[in-house]
Chain A
Amino acid sequence: MSTTLSPTAALPTVRPRRRRIWLWLFLGCCVAPLLVLTAVVASLVTLDRPAALLRDEVQSSTNVSWQTRVQLSVGRITVGVLRAGLAFVPDPKVHEARAALASVRSASVGVYHLACQASPELRGDWMQQADRRMASRGWTRLVGVADRGEKVLVYTPAGEEAGQRFAVAVLQRRELIVVSAAIDAGRLADFLAQHVKGKLPLPSLRDDST
């Protein structure tokens, strides 16, 4: 028994394949910029990996909770845009600022404030714990200072990148500042040679000989 279609019956419509592809392309063009923008904004307001690691370790060494005040990261493109923008600022000191910016490849800054009134108490081995955590990522400590209410840690990668990247944590009473930066050492050296006397920033042995 065969089935025959009535000539008046409506045939199911089949969207051509080409129109489907164009539809997906259109949707992709609309959604992709949103995704990119979201990723860019997210990268701007989060710390890079070394700074986040250092922040997490210092905060976990205290027995209190912290509030984020500022959290910002800038990469090469943003630094380049900032530098280009400064060229239009009519100030004679802008030239120095541009020269300083030229030596920065990327930077990440976080400022955190204690939620409570009391100053934080750190675990006894907080510096060693931070060393271990950073060492697991290939970073070695350059400077460690603990002086009454102030604590400072400075790390740099061990190996080839030593001196080109830094991660710094400063804990001062109820405020924690974490900074991470990748620098162009050659340009920075040229900039500092013009503005800083050649003295290493090492602690002095006080000589109270008066």
Chain B
Amino acid sequence: MNNLLRSALAATALSLASALPVSAAPEIGAVDFGSFSAGPQSKFVEVNVQSGLLKFAAKIAASQEPDAAELLNNIRHVRVNVVGLDETNRAATVARVESIRAELEKKGWERIVTAREPKKGGTDDIAIYMMSNEETIHGVVVTVIEGKGEAVLVNVVGNIRAEQLARLGEKLDIKPLSKLKLPRKDAKQS
């Protein structure tokens, strides 16, 4: 009787445990930028596209651009934040971007681009990070603090080949990424 009771309790505990929400391990290549607040009159854009819609976009592209469709099929998540900077939020937003950059470097992300581009109205501060293994890029983060008054953060998560990065920038209209050229990592290196 005691054994039966113990078994019943164990079964109940197991079923309850399986029903409880388990905090999922963070997805490789995904970065949580947190939430941003824009000034009352400044620009704010937030885009958060998951794999379902990306596969939908891949299906649209498949008939005309098969390589773009393959790329989109390999992407799991795209997040874009564009925050207009004004006196009310400039300092806090720039500090947040800097802390995101520091956090990425602390977590082992590779900084593949550091650039300061003088433009009309100010200097653009660009940093691009990558999380990859030998053959595949699992995540890309683009951070831009534009001199003319915008902060831009982009996170792309998926299984991307190095030579696809520029194409990815082209398809997602991310200029700093579309200009990027990484050497292809071949299996056999001379």
Contacts and interface: CB of A to CB of B under 8 A. Distances in A.
Interface in A160-188: 162-163, 185-186
B68 A198 contact: yes
Interface residues of A, number: 34
A185 B53 CA distance: 10
Nearest to A199: B171
Nearest to A148: B41
A209 B72 CA distance: 28
B37 A124 contact: yes
A198 B167 CA distance: 13
B90 interface: no
A77 interface: no
A177 to B, nearest CB: 19
B98 interface: no
Given A193-B63, A205-B173, A205-B176, A144 B49 contact: no
Nearest to B150: A206
Nearest to A146: B44
A90 to B, nearest CB: 29
Contact of B173 (A124, A163, A197, A199): A199
Interface string B68-107: 1100100000101010100000000000000000000000
A143 B60 contact: no
Interface residues of B, number: 49
Contacts of B144: 205
B120 interface: yes
Given A128-B35, A198-B68, A208-B120, A203 B47 contact: yes
A193 B57 CA distance: 9
A189 B46 contact: no
Interface centre among B48, B57, B60, B119 (most CB of A within 10 A): B60
Interface of B: 35, 37-38, 40-41, 43-50, 52-54, 56-65, 68-69, 72, 78, 80, 82, 84, 117, 119-120, 142, 144, 146, 148, 150, 152, 154, 171-176
- Nearest 3 interchain pairs by C-beta: A198-B61, A207-B175, A204-B173
